[in-house]
Every structure is written in C-alpha cells, then in structure tokens.
C-alpha cells in the first residue's frame, strides 16, 4: 500500500520538539558559560541540527511501521543520553565519556549519591517522547513519508550540510576546537551533546590504538621536554633527607577544600584541629596547593601522587590503564626497605584498585573486608572516619618498619550525609543542601584526624613517622556557585574564583623538625612524588615525572590543571582569560609586551604552550604504555 503524503512529517515534528528540549537543557540545566551572541546562536542551532540528522534517517525506511518504530526508540534513547549526562553533570560539572561507560561496576557503590542527583521534574524530559510515541501509534499512516531515492538523498544531504554549517561556525568561534578535546564544555556548546559523543568515540578509538603501535621512540621527545622544562638543577633542597628512614602515614582527606581552613560557619570553626596543626612548629602547610584531578576523582589524586604524571582527560587511569607498567613511589621506596599499604574501608574493586595497586607496587590493601562495618558505625559510602582510624591502628602496629601507609577517608563524601549525633556544628543555611551539609561532615573528619593523632602518640608510632594530610579533590562543584558566593561574601563566582576553589590543603608534619611554616608558592599534586622521595633522602637519577620537589628553589613556576587551565606564580589561565593571580583581574596584553591589546591571553601564551605539551606527553605515556620501554636502572 502506498503511504499517504503527510502534512507535517513526524520526523520534522520530532526534530523541533527534541531540539527545543535539548536547547532548554543546555541553557538552563547545564551550567554552560556563554560569552557572546555568536555562542548563544550556535548553542541554539546545534540541538536542531543534531535532531534533524538523527530523525531524518527515518525516511530510509519504506514501511510506515518501521519509520514510526525508529522515531520512537531513537527519541527515547537520545533523551536518556541527555538525562544520564544531566545527572552526571549535577555532580561533576562535566559530561560522560566512553571510558566512564566501562566503569559501570562503580555504579553499584554509588547508591544514595545518584538518587540525590535525580530530580522529580526530570520526568518532563520525556514528555515529548511520550507525545511522539502516542501520536505515532494513533496516526502511523498519516505521519509517515514516502520519498523516492533522490528525496532520501536530499534529506541526508541537507542534514550533512546543516552539520557542516554548524561545525564551520563552531570553528570560527573557537579555532582549533577539535584539537582541544580536553575541554568538553566547549565541544558540547559548539557542536552539541550528541556530536560530542561521536567525537569522543573517535578519540577513544584513536587512544586505544596508541598502545598497539607504540615502540618506545616516543620517549625521546618526552625526555627532552622534561629535561629542558621540568627537571631542576642537581642541587638538593634544604629538606633533602629530613624524614630519612621514617614511616610515612598518608591521609587522603576526602573532598577537603582549602576554603574551610581557618574559616567558620555559624560562628564555629570548621576545622579547629587542622587550624592548630598549621601553627605547629613541626608542620609545613601549603596554602596554594591545587588538586589536578580529572574524571577519576580520588583515584586520579592517587595516580598523581604516586607517579607524578597527569590523569587522563577522559575516564580514570585506574580503570582504563590499570595493567600498564609504572615506576611509582611504592615501587621505588621498596628498594629502600619500605613496605607499603593502602587502608580504605570501601569495596576493593571500586576504581579497579586491586589491579592498579598491584601495578603501582603496593604490598597490601586493607579494604572493607578488613573492617567491622555495620549499620551503627557506617554512613553514606561506608565506615565512618572515627571507627575507621580506630580499627586501623592494629594494622599499623603490625606493619614492618619502615612502612608507607595510605589512609583514604570516606565520611566527607558527597552527598555529605551525617547523623545528628555526629554533628558538632550546625549546617550552613543556603539554597544548596550539598554545601549546607558539607561543613558538619568536614568538622567530623577534622575530629577523626585529631583522634588519630592521639592514637598514634599513644601507640608510640607518632615520633618515628612523617604524617601527610592532603585534600584529594573538590567536594563542592560549580553547580553550587550561588550558595558558595553567599558563603564567601561574593557577588558571583567568576572563572578565576572557580580555579581558586580547586585549592586543597596539604600538611606535611614531621615530628621533631621544629622549622615548620606556611608556604605560599604555587604547587600541586603532581609535585608529591619528587617531594616525598627528597624528604626520604632518595635520589632517583633516572625517572619520568612532571612535578618538582616542593621545597626546591628553582621550580618550574606553574602547575597544569587537567582541563588545560593553569596556575603560575603570576597568572591564572582559565576560560580563555589570563588573570593576575594576586588580584584576580584580567591581564591586558600590553602588560606582557605584546602588540595585540585586545587579546589578554597573550600574557599566558608561553606557559599555555608548555602546559598543553606537558599534558600531551603524559597522555602519550599512558595511552602507549611507554614506560614498558624505559630503562630505569
């Protein structure tokens, strides 16, 4: 039977409805920054271009029932992709990548965290799907189309022409857009969420092929770059060997950000113990220390610390490259007689820790099976921090010295659930429950760490140890900027402020040292491996790393963030703007002796080029598993 000629083809109606919905999500549910009218225009047209390209494929089905079925299911799947990205964005202010889809086993541990990110009104995202589903069932013959072959080709050609126009405008607005794939927000707002996912698939395929074709020759350029731009002179810092032979007790303080240090809420100190620790004569406190993680969060911070290499811009190295060859901190200190352990009362398979810890050279991993966890002593993601430290002491006492023991806390984790009896201070009062509940959770962790210090002293472990406390990554994402600006007393959180909020505390406490102080130099998690080796008096003459000893004089002067932004002694580069690090004001090009007075990014261009090269070299090492070719002897 010949199909009737429709008045309004359903694929056109589906494209309009879906495009409008997607634009609404872009504009009002994703926190996408728009700098000018052209960006607004591109953001508006790209969902319609993507929708037309997808739904116009229905015309290639000759039977009306197949056309309608294609439209129904493709619209549902596409909407679910938007929904999944929206839920993910609410927590991470980022978009899903292909490697994260292979991390699905992590989802089973997320539990209540995901439920807090799903809103009742999200069901409205599927309203147009229900409408199309209903009318396609009722008006199947009237809404299907029957095109000759040239009509089908014309529909496809029109789709591709619109797509090319979208890409052309995007490239005009953001030159080298496709070579800056680490900036996912720019990709989404310029080419759309669905084209971004296609681009991500292509990038993933290219990355996976790098290991197959790698032969080790790539290391020549990497070593040359490191020798010229990263490694400092052979002069050892004044702290070289300051902790030689001591045990290392490392505390990964979950989601601890620097803005709570020496600060209060409702008139109460948020971190009284850590505040006092800063003033301790045996403590070195780094107040401009930045987290540099990507999508792997805590696992990325571990990767940075142990390897002095950057995490990947897509997915988590722990998951995607857990079987690579590394030359990590635990492996190096093992040759000096150290044993190493990780203590974390969570599912051991989360973030693929079992495999990755073996690759990094850890000797033991005490996961949740090593602890007594019940309903009374657990909350949120698992065992509360106080019983976690209390139950861990017996493991520390049994370790052969010298040892390296890394503790990963859990309580101060999104969504920052905490029972009333565990709250020593009142929550904050703002429009964000996440920020409100963050303060009591941080205070609880502060108390847990204080109790742990007392236990270390009581058992005699304290005096023979160096204790490092580090915030692993941010806890409050940009989605809570309105509440954050209220707490910080600002009119708004600017891109400059957003980078500054990536500062996390770093305490290096050396009992008996007596020379502790607050250090203001710019530093980051990439610096911890060379710093710790220096403190232990271990001189590694041949190694691949991208950080510097925190106590050295001639540091490289900048730290790279995983998204390509950077912080230097003078500047902060983010969102295409070069800021003065001290004042937070955009830097005029004239201040950097350039002729282009309209482009304030010139002040940061020299460092930016090094940052991009550094990130790329680190990625090349991981994707190609290049350290398997490197002779560390």
Catalytic (active-site) positions: 298
**Residues 22 and 80: beta-carbon distance below 8 Å:** no
Q: How many whole angstroms separate alpha carbon 364 and alpha carbon 384?
A: 21
Structure tokens at 276: 């006092």
Report how far residue 319's alpha carbon sits from residue 297's, in angstroms, rounded to the nearest whole number: 12
Q: How far apart are CA 336 and CA 464, in angstroms?
A: 16
The Cα angle at residue 487 between residues 482 and 492, in degrees rounded to 5:
40
Q: Which run of H or E residues covers position 580?
A: strand 577-580
Question: How many other CB atoms are there within 10 angstroms of residue 483's CB atom?
Answer: 21
Under the phi-then-psi rule, with left for phi > 0, alpha for psi from -120 to 50, and beta for the rest, what region is 630? beta
Q: Are 112 and 415 in contact (CB under 8 A)?
A: yes
Whether 350 contacts 109, CB under 8 Å = yes
Strands of the sheet containing 283-286, edge to edge, are 364-366, 339-343, 403-408, 247-253, 465-471, 506-509, 283-286, 517-519
Q: At what angle do helices 37-55 and 193-213 cross, to 10 degrees?
A: 80
**Angle, helices 127-138/10-28, rounded to nearest 10 degrees:** 170
Residue 213's contacts (CB-CB under 8 Å, 6 or more residues apart) are none
CA–CA separation, 613 vs 619, rounded Å?
A: 10
Q: Do 345 and 390 touch, CB atoms closer than 8 A?
A: no
For the residues of 535-562, what is the DSSP string, one character each?
HTT---SS---S---TT-SS--SEEE-T
Instruction: Give CA–CA dist 472/338, Å, rounded.
Output: 24
**In terms of Cα–Cα distance, which of 340, 247, 353, 249 is closest to 298?**
353
Q: What does DSSP assign to residue 503? A: B
- Pairing mode, if any, of strands 558-560 and 382-383? unpaired
């Amino acid at each position: 039977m010949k199909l009737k000629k429709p008045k309004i083809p359903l694929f056109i109606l589906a494209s309009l409805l879906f495009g409008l919905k997607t634009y609404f999500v872009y504009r009002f549910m994703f926190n996408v920054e728009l700098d000018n009218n052209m960006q607004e225009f591109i953001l508006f047209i790209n969902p319609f271009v993507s929708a037309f390209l997808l739904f116009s494929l229905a015309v290639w089905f000759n039977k009306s029932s197949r056309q309608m079925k294609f439209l129904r299911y493709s619209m549902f799947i596409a909407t679910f992709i938007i929904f999944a990205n929206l839920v993910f964005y609410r927590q991470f202010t980022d978009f899903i990548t292909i490697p994260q889809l292979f991390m699905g086993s992590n989802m089973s541990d997320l539990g209540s965290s995901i439920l807090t990110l799903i809103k009742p009104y999200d069901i409205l995202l599927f309203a147009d799907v229900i409408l199309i589903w209903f009318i396609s069932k009722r008006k199947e013959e009237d809404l299907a189309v029957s095109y000759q072959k040239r009509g089908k080709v014309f529909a496809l050609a029109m789709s591709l022409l619109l797509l090319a126009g979208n890409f052309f405008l995007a490239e005009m607005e953001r030159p080298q857009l496709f070579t800056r794939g680490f900036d996912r927000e720019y990709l989404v707002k310029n080419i759309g969420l669905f084209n971004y996912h296609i681009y991500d698939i292509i990038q993933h395929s290219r990355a996976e092929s790098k290991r197959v074709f790698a032969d080790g020759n790539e290391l020549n350029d990497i070593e040359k770059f490191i020798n010229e731009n990263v490694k400092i002179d052979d002069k050892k810092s004044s702290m070289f060997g300051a902790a030689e032979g001591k045990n290392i007790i490392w505390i990964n303080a979950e989601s601890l950000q620097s803005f709570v240090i020496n600060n209060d809420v409702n008139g109460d100190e948020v971190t009284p113990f850590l505040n006092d620790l800063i003033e301790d004569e045996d403590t070195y406190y780094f107040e401009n220390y930045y987290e540099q993680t990507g999508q792997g969060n805590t696992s990325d911070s571990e990767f940075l610390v142990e390897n002095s290499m950057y995490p990947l811009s897509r997915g988590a190295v722990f998951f995607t490259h857990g079987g690579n060859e590394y030359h990590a901190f635990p492996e190096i200190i093992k040759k000096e007689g150290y044993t190493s352990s990780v203590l974390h009362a969570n599912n051991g398979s989360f973030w693929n820790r079992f495999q990755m810890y073996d690759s990094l050279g850890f000797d033991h991993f005490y996961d949740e099976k090593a602890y007594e966890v019940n309903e009374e002593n657990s909350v949120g993601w698992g065992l509360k921090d106080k019983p976690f430290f209390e139950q861990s002491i017996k493991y520390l006492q049994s370790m052969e010295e010298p040892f390296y023991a890394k503790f990963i806390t859990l309580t101060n984790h999104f969504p920052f659930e905490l029972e009333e009896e565990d709250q020593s201070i009142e929550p904050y009062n703002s429009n964000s429950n996440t920020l409100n509940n963050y303060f009591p959770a941080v205070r609880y962790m502060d108390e847990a760490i204080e109790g742990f210090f007392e236990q270390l002293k009581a058992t005699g472990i304290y005096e023979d140890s160096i204790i490092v406390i580090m915030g692993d990554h941010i806890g409050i994402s940009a989605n809570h900027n309105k509440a954050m600006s209220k707490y910080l007393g600002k009119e708004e959180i600017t891109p400059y402020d957003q980078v500054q909020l990536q500062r996390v505390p770093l305490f290096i406490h050396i009992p008996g040292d007596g020379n502790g102080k607050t250090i203001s130099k710019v530093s980051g998690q990439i610096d911890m491996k060379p710093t710790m080796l220096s403190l232990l008096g271990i001189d590694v003459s041949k190694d691949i790393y991208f950080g510097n000893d925190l106590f050295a004089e001639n540091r490289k002067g900048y730290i790279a963030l995983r998204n390509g932004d950077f912080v230097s002694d003078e500047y902060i580069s983010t969102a295409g703007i070069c800021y003065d690090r001290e004042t937070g004001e955009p830097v005029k090009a004239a201040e950097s002796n350039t002729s282009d007075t309209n482009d304030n990014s010139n002040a940061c261009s020299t460092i930016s080029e090094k940052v991009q090269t550094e990130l790329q070299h680190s990625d090349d090492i991981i994707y190609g598993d290049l350290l398997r070719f490197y002779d560390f002897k």
